[in-house]
Structure 1
Amino acid sequence: MSDDALLPYPLPLGPLSEPPQEYSELRDRCPVTRVRLPSGSTALMVTGYDEVEAAMSDRRLSRAALREPGAVRTVAGEDFSDNPYNLLNMEGPDHSRLRRLISPAFTPRKAELWRARIEEIAHELIDRLEAGPRPADLHHDFAAVLPVWVICEMVGAPVEDRAKLQEWTDRLVSITAHTPEERLSAREESAAYVAGLIARHRENPGNDLLSTLISARDDADRLNEREMVWLGINLLVAGHDTTVSAISRSLFQLLRHPDQWRLLAEKPDLVPAATEELLRYAPPSEIGFMRIATEDVELAGIHIAKGEGVIPVMHAAGRDVRRVADPETLDLTRTDTAHLAFGHGHHYCPGAGVARVELQTAFGVLAQRLPSLRLAVPAEEVEWLGGLLTLRPRSMPVVW
């Protein structure tokens, strides 16, 4: 394909925030295809389930190599990929060391210990919805609040700071929605904020994750101060942003499939399986995290030269007919759900356990408390924000 004929990345969404319509054709015909990036460079986009899984497992495809001079860039100017202290941008021993420090806080067993508190927060947010005006905004007043409230309590940040955390997050995860200067200022502002939190927690340690990291820094010297600041930012940003989007997208799809919403309200035992199906059908993003080939690689019969960019779009994989029967249908009772919404390989999301508990709680408690919940506007009128790594509505008006 000539450069002039390349598809632009990211591809435009389909109607109703559905995945780009080209994904289906590409998975069948060319699961590894060259695309044009906003920076003007090109990269290889991967859309098939097996191919995405293979790309995410291959250590020759490196996130750290994005910082090498002359590396392919998604956007012009600095973005989150330039930060060497961001856990997602690290490889090798340092990446493993930092993951080991935070992983104990996010085991499935630890996540279950948070379930009761997450349910309390969900019920409180629904109480506020019921006491407020209608239509209510399910995104702004529920989906966008629950995950950031939870991660603030886990990390040890004031819950009342959640608005500024969300604003920084929007700039940090921007692709085209913000300028390089805005992305850089968000990085500096959030780093100063977390440094201030660290100073306060050193004076008054608590039973929170930031205090645990401070202990690791000060007692065993297992990470330096800059690493600790950026672990704090990683936790506060990555710890809520994708979950916000997953909740909003999932609830939108449930409400535009009212038969599935009724099924969930009638059969609460379906919540765990329904959560996996929603992660498959309505993942939090249609964007992939680019890697750089550190040597020649072959993927699905395609030669990838050293230095080329590779974008495994893990969220495209969930509708691969090779893995899921009738993948365009949302079916909370299906038994063949397969998705890569939390990634795969050494960059698998360390917070997946907590995210699953939050999603299960959001869907289960809402279906229990508001079984007659429905969109207050036609689904086509819900506006979706673009230019970010994650996908979310501007608002989601609902009634019940």
Structure 2
Amino acid sequence: MAARTAHATATQRGPMLPYLPRHPVPDVVRVRAPTGDDLWLVTRFELGRQVLTDSRFSRAMAVAESAPAIHPLRADPAALTSLDPPAHGRLRKLVNRAFAPHAVAAQEDSIRRTARGLLKDRRGIDLVSGYAMPLSSATICEVLGVPEAERDRFSHLADRAHGITPCSPEESESARDELRAYFVSLVDLARHDPGGHLLGRLVLAEEQDGALDERELLALVELLLNAGYETTIGQIGLAALALLEHPRQWRELVRRPELIPGAVEVLLRYAPVVPISFTRVAVRDVELGGERIAAGEGVLVSLLHANFDAAENPDPEVLDVGADVARHLTFGHGPHVCLGARLAGLQLRVALEELVRAAPELSLTVPPAALRWRPAEAVVRGPTTLPVSW
């Protein structure tokens, strides 16, 4: 059984979290986090799905100061991702309306125009700084109703706050503070003119329905930025790199662009941008994968290992853009499944479609070993540079 994860990390480029096992591992294994806390790591697909849906594993308990943690920075207890039912369901219902299929589909024309404009009349580009970043920035600005004249400032703050642009910890913290203050001004703007964007709809819910309070609203805005910007940049970079390192697969997409929607799911499984889930805490003693998880102990799922579980995906280390769409946990699962999953998938699909159209001879201009990466301890994976030509 253990051999099922032999390739889970070996196939992936870039630095990996030091506590993620590199060798075949049991279904459930103890790991020591950088915080010094010991937690249980789940490496199997089906067991991962169980943890992500089972009410015996609490997110709210995991953000308490006394809870075992994988990272020294604690999540905001008011954030949607920090809540258990029924509070989680109340807020999630509000946000789900804005991310309904028709609402996400309405973004496609704008995303495509941006992507096409970024590639127009080019013969080379850095796919991170020149493509993924401005494409993701334009999209999240539309979602949050950031005025056109302020989008460069907003992107600059977001890049520093999330460490996308290299800066000192002090500069990053300062940018986060500025960004939070800017969110307050965006909310005030949306109160005067809700417009047709997501933030406007959330403000109306706050004012008309009393469905959420000011703190919850601001936490949602910050979550939307985290989920809809940083992760999309990383995912586009990882997907593009996987194709560049498998040129036959890239040529297959050039020859048959109709494969791209399915290839998006294949790439999401093969190169997950977030390697681990949020931590949960066991509400009571639980038997899981042959191990006894005691009440109060922390549990997290290796999304990376779960995606490479051969019991779920035969030959998981093989990248085949024409394969049947396989299930994956890249966006999580259950009540806390990524709220921006549809939007992220749309951006990745359009980004690849426009690259195939504009750059059929796409290739890296440096060896893969020369690429720079986000640090291993970053929550989101991905290259920080990806220079290409065509």
- TM-score w.r.t. length of structure 2: 0.90
Match of 2:245 among 252, 256, 281: 256
The farther-off stretch of 39-48 and 160-169 is 160-169
Aligned to 1:320: 309
The farther-off stretch of 306-315 and 259-268 is 306-315
Match of 2:50 among 48, 54, 59: 54
Q: Secondary structure at the match of 1:311?
A: strand
Deviations 1:12-39 (A, max 9, x none): 877633878975744xx40210011101
For the pair 1:120 / 2:113, whether they are aligned, the reply is yes
Q: Would the alpha carbon gap of residues 34 and 183 (structure 1) be closer, same or farther in structure 2, given more than 3 Å must change?
A: farther
Aligned to 1:365: 354
Return the letter of the residue paired with 2:94. Answer: L
Q: Would the alpha carbon gap of residues 275 and 14 (structure 1) be closer, same or farther in structure 2, given more than 3 Å must change?
A: closer
- 1:271-282 equivalence runs, <5 A: 271-282=260-271
Q: Is the 8 A contact 1:280 1:337 kept in 2?
A: yes
- 1:17-36 equivalence runs, <5 A: 17=14, 25-26=23-24, 29-36=25-32
Q: 2-side partners of 1:266 and 1:121: how far apart? A: 24
- TM-score w.r.t. length of structure 1: 0.88
Q: 2-side partners of 1:350 and 1:288: how far apart? A: 14
Q: 2-side partners of 1:222 and 1:185: how far apart? A: 31
Q: Is the 8 A contact 2:194 2:204 kept in 1?
A: no
Paired residues, what number? 376
Superposition deviation, residue 375 in structure 1: 0.3
Q: Would the alpha carbon gap of residues 328 and 19 (structure 1) be closer, same or farther in structure 2, given more than 3 Å must change?
A: farther
Aligned to 1:390: 380
- 1:182-221 equivalence runs, <5 A: 187-221=176-210
Q: Would the alpha carbon gap of residues 304 and 187 (structure 1) be closer, same or farther in structure 2, given more than 3 Å must change?
A: farther
Q: 2-side partners of 1:266 and 1:362: how far apart? A: 17
Q: Is the 8 A contact 2:279 2:298 kept in 1?
A: yes
Q: Would the alpha carbon gap of residues 296 and 182 (structure 1) be closer, same or farther in structure 2, given more than 3 Å must change?
A: farther
Deviations 1:206-261 (A, max 9, x none): 12111111111111211111111111111122112211111100001101111111
Segments ≥4 residues shifted beyond 3 Å: 11-15, 18-26, 181-189
Q: Secondary structure at the match of 1:274?
A: helix
Q: Secondary structure at the match of 1:239?
A: helix
Superposition deviation, residue 203 in structure 1: 2.5
Q: 2-side partners of 1:300 and 1:84: how far apart? A: 29
- 1:81-160 equivalence runs, <5 A: 81=75, 83-127=76-120, 130-131=121-122, 135-158=124-147, 159-160=151-152
Superposition deviation, residue 289 in structure 1: 1.5
Q: 1-side partners of 2:173 and 2:290: how far apart? A: 39
Aligned to 2:162: 169
Q: 1-side partners of 2:21 and 2:261: how far apart? A: 27
Match of 2:335 among 333, 346, 350: 346
Q: Secondary structure at the match of 2:70?
A: coil
Deviations 1:357-390 (A, max 9, x none): 1111011111111101100011121121112111
Unaligned 5+ runs, structure 2: 1-7
Q: Would the alpha carbon gap of residues 109 and 206 (structure 1) be closer, same or farther in structure 2, given more than 3 Å must change?
A: closer
For the pair 1:240 / 2:229, whether they are aligned, the reply is yes
Aligned to 1:65: 61
Unaligned 5+ runs, structure 1: 1-10
Return the letter of the residue paired with 1:340. Answer: L
Q: 2-side partners of 1:182 and 1:93: how far apart? A: 37
Aligned to 2:4: none
Q: Would the alpha carbon gap of residues 19 and 262 (structure 1) be closer, same or farther in structure 2, given more than 3 Å must change?
A: farther
Q: 2-side partners of 1:41 and 1:23: how far apart? A: 16
Q: Is the 8 A contact 2:236 2:348 kept in 1?
A: yes
**Identity, % of aligned pairs?**
35
Q: 1-side partners of 2:43 and 2:15: how far apart? A: 15
Aligned to 1:7: none
Q: Is the 8 A contact 2:307 2:328 kept in 1?
A: yes
For the pair 1:333 / 2:322, whether they are aligned, the reply is yes
Q: Is the 8 A contact 1:152 1:236 kept in 2?
A: no
Match of 1:16 among 5, 13, 18: 13
Match of 1:43 among 34, 39, 46: 39
Q: Would the alpha carbon gap of residues 80 and 248 (structure 1) be closer, same or farther in structure 2, given more than 3 Å must change?
A: farther
Return the letter of the residue paired with 1:61. Answer: F
For the pair 1:308 / 2:297, whether they are aligned, the reply is yes
Please report the RMSD computed on the Cα atoms of aligned residues, expressed in angstroms: 2.4
Deviations 1:245-295 (A, max 9, x none): 111000011011111111111101101110010001111122331111111
Q: Secondary structure at the match of 2:185?
A: helix
Superposition deviation, residue 99 in structure 1: 0.8
Superposition deviation, residue 63 in structure 1: 1.4
Q: 1-side partners of 2:103 and 2:204: how far apart? A: 19
Return the letter of the residue paired with 1:165. Answer: A
- 1:284-295 equivalence runs, <5 A: 284-295=273-284
Q: 2-side partners of 1:277 and 1:19: how far apart? A: 21
Q: Would the alpha carbon gap of residues 364 and 372 (structure 1) be closer, same or farther in structure 2, given more than 3 Å must change?
A: same
